[in-house]
Amino acid sequence: MGSDLRLAPFGVGRRVCPGKALGITTVHLWLAQMLQKFKWVEAVRLICLSV
């Protein structure tokens, strides 16, 4: 992990995001639901669509 605080996803210090816990919990829930409800397959080689 880097130490550049400008990249902290929820900010830091006095203005840190007050929704941090809710945000992380929600993203975990989304991930869990996607893992549960979709069939995950290995990516095939990407096809270039540009001419």
Residues that bind ligand HEM in the complex, under the rule CB under 6 A: 9-11, 15, 17-19, 22-23, 27
Query: Is the Cβ of residue 26 or residue 43 nearer to ligand HEM in the bound state?
Result: 26
Give the residue at shortest CB distance from ligand HEM.
19
Which amino acid belongs to residue 14?
A: R
Query: Is the Cβ of residue 13 or residue 39 nearer to ligand HEM in the bound state?
Result: 13
Query: Is the Cβ of residue 15 or residue 45 nearer to ligand HEM in the bound state?
Result: 15
Place of tokens 């979709």: 38
Burial (CB < 10 A; 0-12, 13-18, 19+), residue 37, is: exposed
Encoded tokens for 22: 């809710």
